A and B are shown apart, each in its own frame.
Chain A
Amino acid sequence: MKELGYGDINDDVLNAMRPPRLPYLIAVACLAAVVGYAALVLLYQIQNGIGVTGLNRPVGWATYITNFVFWVGIAHSGTLISAILYLLRANWREPVSRASEAMTIFAVMTAGLFPLIHLGRLWVFYYIIPYPSQRQLWPNFLSPLVWDVCAVGTYFTVSLIFWSVGMIPDLAAARDRYEEALGPDHIRTRIFRILSLGWTGSGTQWLHYNRSYLYFAALATPLVISVHSVVSWDFAVSLLPGWHSTIFPPYFVAGAIHSGLAMVLTLLIPMRKLLHLERIITLHHFEMIAKTIVLTASIVGYAYAAEAFIAWYSGDRFEWQLYHWRSTGSPAWLYWMIIPLNVLIPWMFVFKKIRTSYVWLFCISLLINVGMWLERLFLIFTSLAHDFLPHNWGSYAPTWVEVSITIGSFSFFFLWFFGFSKFLPTVPIAELKTKISEMQMRSSEECAMRVSPGKSHLAHSSVLAVFSHAGDMLEAVKAACGHGFTIMEVFSPTKLEEVEKVMARPKSPVRFWTLAGAIAGMAGGFWLAIGTALVNSLIVGGKQPVSLIPYCVIAFEGTVLLGSLANLCGLVLHAGLFKYRLPSFYDRRFSRDRFGLLVNCDIHDQERLQKLLSTTRPEEMHVSR
């Protein structure tokens, strides 16, 4: 990757977006057919009731809820890679982050279907949404299922925004490439012109964008922990043995990241090959993921051990009989399979030989996926099958209905991912280019005078210098402001923090939008939950009508949701991301491998400015009067 230039990265990634060929279309058609079949099966289930599945007394939750937990879990590692590792400045995340985030979104979409699919009366699912109904009956904000709706809804919205915002500079690169190759009126050019929202890569846009992106990452970070914690509370809040356990939230979060990282490997190893991204996504990145899997496997293994220890040491007869049945009874084959699949086999990644072999990486990732799916099924159904009442004990086996819908869900997920891999940039181009530009930078001091981008570039006469080296442009900026030119704007295919620093630009006001949104969201969450409780006025589960502790969940989700939405509004308004036409002086190469510096000046200063800029080795200079 080291020897790649700006243009190489651009081409490698965007070349993958060529029109699809026959094998791709066949694969998509097959996936779509399976999804259609699963939809028909769902219709059959709705008509005939949930009894057509293996769900019955005593096991009322099994495959569908397993799928929900599994897919939400898959989503988590995408956010871990895109948000947490971004904040931690882990460089290896960059090439894999876009695809992982896409995985997050499609996994949450798949997961979101399952709470609906498993309803006895699917057609009234909207009763769970807080809207003023004619019955004046509101959702019960003490129910973990409502927390789930808030958490998963927030997670989907925030991930989608985060992902789309991260893609804007790359969409602009695709737009400019299509415009060059296909002409300005081609349908692809037009679509990408709309999608890229008028991105020019100007210094002002980058300024707001970077700030905004940082806050998206910060808002998405707690979601990695919180969403799966909320999912685990679905189980932990009930009183059943095996479910009613305090280790569930960390246990579930670790398992989620474990399975998600495995899914990243499963998806990216073939994608890298098929889309010819070998120069960008390298073995190093997979190795880092494999190392992280060793950690998550250890946490999961520790949780298994803790579960067994507590069942034994607590002396609770129900816990112990359940554990005993799990490990020696009819589901024991599952138990003795998930331990090697999720812990022992992934630990093989401690050997360098194994974690640097694509075959091993891919095979082990598949095994972890299988193992984690089985683990969820195991945890969910065994507690129900062997609870307190021996005469009520039973077992569970899925019917063809659940099997079909589960296969359909995998097809649904892969269908989306296939679409993404062909139509959108699968690697964050702009972020990768940052690495090169950072190497080209020489550190320098701030300008004495504050530089502003100016209101209208066309009113004055101006000089536009084009550079192929970021360091040269930095020098030009320094030289221009050192000689009293204070109205200038830079254009760049990547973020240039050094240039921002030299130009002494003030901090982006996007942060105030985010703060205001977050505070409003927190207040709104409490307001919604408390208001609802006062209207319903039900005493629920021995808690007072207004009980603040459970409402913190709602307030938290509100904080993140409105914070992100406000952040997006701030970004769109301040960076002017609502335009279709680009300014006339914009050069297509600014999204690829060139840097532009536009300096405004008086007519009589123009010559002096040109002379000054030519000392900094620009490739071209354009003058407008």
Chain B
Amino acid sequence: MISRRSFCKKAMIAAGGIMIPLAALEVFNPQRLAAEKDGTGKVRWVFLVDIHKCVGCGFCVKACKTENEVPYEANVTRTWVERYVVTKTGKTHIDSPKGARDGFTSQKIDQAHHGLLEVKEEEIAKAFFVPKLCNQCENPACVQVCPVGATYQAADGVVLIDRSWCIGCGYCVMGCPYGVRFFHPVYHVAEKCNFCYHRLAKGMKSACVDACPFGARKIGNIRDPEDPVTKIITTEQVNVLKEEFGTKPQVFYIGLSREVK
């Protein structure tokens, strides 16, 4: 007769004995969890933003809203432009009124509920604009949390949302560390930038890329070595946002300052 005590003991030893060899397997190695996708597809869309060239006119935001059925007056946008004002004392002020749909018409910093803040010109050390959009991550955090599989990654890397399948739980909106997702006020589903997938499919460029008068926004195919965007990414100093989260974002920035989050 096996006693309870000896049963517990033996069970623990057995469990431990099984765990040790299992631990050596890759299933228990989180490093190996990164999916090994076959990098053989012909197309992988990436985006390139040149911060030096952005003047904060907001044409990209306007074009995006018009192109993609995002209600014009609602305070949600698929892409937006942030203004960074760094003072000589090292303080950083960041704003994006209406996602910069109408550009930055005032020198004052829009602090939402806390009114406008005036920063004197002689205090400013540097100021610049950072356009943001969906990073179409290689390891998208939003796709992992979707309970129904309504958001997914296409073969060319773009993360899409199936409006007819989304139940509107909002988990992906909370899950995205870049804050690019929002709740569509009309369709009651999650919504975000998809590089204007419908335009890409027709061989056109994203609406924001076409609308940018200064060429600060570019889209390209990283698998095509002749693509000018690929050439810049592979030869210049480019950076991505929140690399430490392991999401492998695919929107690359030239001239990314350390204040940018």
Contacts and interface: CB of A to CB of B under 8 A. Distances in A.
Interface of A: 49-51, 55-58, 60-61, 115, 118-121, 124-125, 127-128, 135, 137-140, 142-146, 149, 234, 237-240, 318, 384, 387-395, 536, 538-545, 547-549
A543 B145 CA distance: 12
A145 B147 contact: yes
A625 to B, nearest CB: 44
B185 interface: yes
Interface stretch (B30-38, B45-53, B221-229): B30-38
Contacts of B28: 549
Contacts of B145: 143-145, 237-238, 541
Given A143-B147, A239-B177, A135 B165 contact: yes
B245 A239 contact: yes
Interface stretch (B7-15, B119-127, B133-141, B195-203): B133-141
Contacts of A61: 170, 174
B256 interface: no
B27 to A, nearest CB: 5
A389 B261 contact: yes
23 contacts: A56-B183, A58-B179, A61-B174, A118-B170, A120-B166, A120-B189, A138-B149, A140-B146, A146-B147, A237-B145, A238-B177, A239-B177, A240-B177, A391-B95, A391-B96, A391-B110, A541-B144, A542-B33, A542-B35, A542-B138, A542-B144, A544-B33, A548-B27
Contact of A547 (B33, B175, B242, B261): B33
B15 to A, nearest CB: 14
B174 A240 contact: yes
A20 B97 CA distance: 61
B149 A539 contact: no
Nearest to A543: B33
B252 interface: no
Contacts of A121: 166-168, 188-189
Contacts of A119: 167-169
Contacts of B36: 544
B168 A239 contact: no
A72 B168 CA distance: 22
A391 B33 CA distance: 34
B153 interface: yes
Contacts of A390: 94-95, 261
Chain B's interface: helix, strand, loop or mixed, by majority?
loop
Contact of A140 (B147, B245, B246): B147
B167 A125 contact: yes
- Closest 3 CB pairs between A and B? A120-B168, A541-B144, A542-B139
Contacts of A391: 82, 94-96, 110, 112
Contacts of A137: 148-149, 165
B113 interface: yes
B19 to A, nearest CB: 13
B173 interface: yes
A57 B76 contact: yes
Contact of B147 (A51, A120, A149, A545): A149
Contacts of B112: 391, 393-394
A415 B148 CA distance: 33
B75 interface: yes
Contacts of A237: 144-145, 175
B152 interface: yes
Given A388-B179, A538-B149, A60 B170 contact: yes
B253 interface: no
Given A118-B169, A135-B165, A389-B179, A540 B144 contact: yes
B59 interface: no
Interface string B231-257: 000000000001001111000000000
